[in-house]
């Protein structure tokens, strides 16, 4: 961001007036505010002026100050404070706002900016030769799931590739902006997962199918108790001697566990993990149907099967937290297997691997702390059945 000033006098129009429609709207907007607080309408009015003219002119600032009986400087303060107000002329056919915040940047907004630089102007806030286009980089526009994206007027164009953005710019340049469909520019529907659903793929109807799929995934992980004995991976540990990362210091979670130990029967690790799975919001599956998982073992198992059907390393299981949740999900299955089907205790190698990296000691305090909470609230642990 840079210092924001009004545009130079040469480009300022001599006067400003709301169109009839906008004037009526402005009047109604001003009336929304209680007597003596009409000045609160300054932001909506400035925004409407910008929508009308494309940018906020000096004349508009003065006209709005007059309408609201505000000192000019107060309106100028507002207009210069909010970067959403364009103080210089923008492209008459399109002003492209490229989101450059982290998610979009990670997904390639730099390439989109390169497109804008080559197709419009090397600098943001500058018009192209015809005065029809301009661009700027803006902060997050709230469509991170569909990153990278741009906003033109009030529509967002998402899931962009540099090529597609080029086409969109050309369309607007040609005055055919209205023909471009807003939203995702791929075959994706809204913000559903790229490459199809990763969850809730078999909704509602065919319960038996789920049963069979569960049945087929026989090779299950080892008893959860055994998992916990696997030494934790050290790769992700921060290389520091800071006090808070010293593993010999008991964390608050451990302390809690010691407190609660006499009250409850010695919980097994599998016990804890089952509870973890049934905790509200513990994962994309379990959390949403917490009541069922808590009460009905069968359903819990059904949900638990879903991740095991997926290949390891897909989008859903990226990242540590995901891994941990997956481990918890697996543990549910394992537990059920122990009850239902003692033979199904063989370890599925790929799942094991995930558990190795994630389900170890570093996370244990957290799990324990949460376990205590959930066992209080979930109305009975499945293990007690």
How many Cβ atoms sit within 10 Å of the Cβ of residue 230? 15
Stretch that binds another protein, among 1-9, 189-197, 272-280, 370-378 (CB under 8 A): 1-9
* CB of residue 132 to another protein, shortest distance in Å: 29
Tell whether residue 229 is a contact of another protein (CB under 8 A): no
**Are 48 and 23 within 8 A, CB to CB?**
no
Stretch that binds another protein, among 26-34, 68-76, 219-227, 263-271 (CB under 8 A): 68-76
Beta carbon nearer to another protein, 2 or 208: 2
Stretch that binds another protein, among 39-47, 66-74, 186-194, 300-308 (CB under 8 A): 66-74
**Are 360 and 230 within 8 A, CB to CB?**
yes
CA–CA distances in Å: residue 157 to residues 136, 190, 381: 15, 11, 47
Tell whether residue 125 is a contact of another protein (CB under 8 A): no
Query: Coil, helix or strand for 97?
Result: strand
* CB of residue 65 to another protein, shortest distance in Å: 9
Stretch that binds another protein, among 74-82, 206-214, 292-300, 317-325 (CB under 8 A): 74-82
Beta carbon nearer to another protein, 72 or 174: 72
**Are 101 and 90 within 8 A, CB to CB?**
no
Encoded tokens for 115: 């497109």
Tell whether residue 69 is a contact of another protein (CB under 8 A): no
Beta carbon nearer to another protein, 11 or 178: 11
Considering only 27, 51, 77, 259, the residue that binds another protein (CB under 8 A) is 77
Tell whether residue 102 is a contact of another protein (CB under 8 A): no
Query: Coil, helix or strand for 251?
Result: coil
6-45 positions binding another protein, by CB under 8 A:
6
Is the bond preceding 148 in cis, omega lying within 30 degrees of 0? Answer: yes
| Pairing assessment for the beta strands 150-152 and 94-99 based on DSSP bridges | antiparallel
- The sign one gets for the Cα dihedral 271, 275, 277, 282 is negative
Binding site for another protein (CB under 8 A): 1-4, 6, 58, 71-74, 76-77, 80-81
């Amino acid at each position: 961001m840079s210092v924001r000033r009004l545009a130079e006098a040469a480009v300022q129009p001599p006067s400003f007036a709301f169109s009839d429609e906008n004037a009526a709207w402005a009047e109604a907007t001003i009336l929304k505010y209680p007597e003596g607080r009409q000045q609160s309408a300054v932001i909506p009015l400035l925004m409407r002026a910008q929508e009308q003219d494309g940018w906020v002119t000096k004349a508009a600032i003065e006209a709005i100050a007059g309408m609201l009986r505000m000192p000019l400087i107060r309106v100028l303060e507002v207009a210069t404070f909010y970067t959403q107000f364009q103080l210089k002329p923008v492209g008459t056919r399109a002003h492209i706002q490229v989101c450059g915040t982290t998610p979009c940047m990670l997904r390639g907004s730099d390439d989109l900016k390169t497109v804008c630089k080559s197709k419009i102007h090397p600098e943001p806030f500058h018009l192209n030769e015809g005065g029809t286009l301009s661009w700027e980089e803006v902060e997050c526009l709230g469509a991170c799931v569909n990153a990278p994206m741009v906003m033109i007027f009030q529509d967002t164009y998402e899931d962009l590739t540099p090529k597609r953005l080029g086409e969109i710019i050309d369309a607007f340049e040609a005055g055919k902006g209205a023909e471009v469909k807003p939203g995702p520019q791929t075959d994706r529907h809204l913000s559903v997962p790229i490459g199809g659903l990763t969850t809730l793929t078999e909704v509602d109807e065919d319960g038996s199918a789920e049963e069979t799929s569960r049945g087929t995934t026989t090779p299950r992980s080892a008893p959860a108790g055994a998992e916990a004995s696997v030494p934790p991976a050290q790769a992700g540990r921060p290389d520091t001697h800071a006090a808070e990362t010293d593993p010999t210091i008991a964390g608050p979670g451990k302390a809690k566990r010691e407190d609660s130990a006499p009250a409850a029967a010695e919980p097994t690790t599998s016990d804890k993990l089952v509870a973890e799975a049934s905790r509200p919001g513990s994962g994309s599956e379990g959390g949403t149907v917490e009541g069922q998982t808590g009460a009905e073992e069968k359903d819990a198992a059904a949900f638990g099967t879903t991740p095991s059907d997926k290949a390891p390393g897909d989008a859903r299981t990226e990242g540590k937290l995901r891994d941990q949740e997956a481990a918890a999900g697996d543990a549910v299955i394992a537990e059920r297997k122990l009850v239902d089907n003692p033979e199904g205790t063989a370890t599925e190698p790929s799942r094991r691997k995930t558990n190795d990296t994630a389900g170890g000691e570093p996370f244990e305090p957290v799990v324990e702390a949460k376990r205590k909470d959930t066992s209080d609230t979930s109305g009975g642990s499945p293990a007690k059945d």
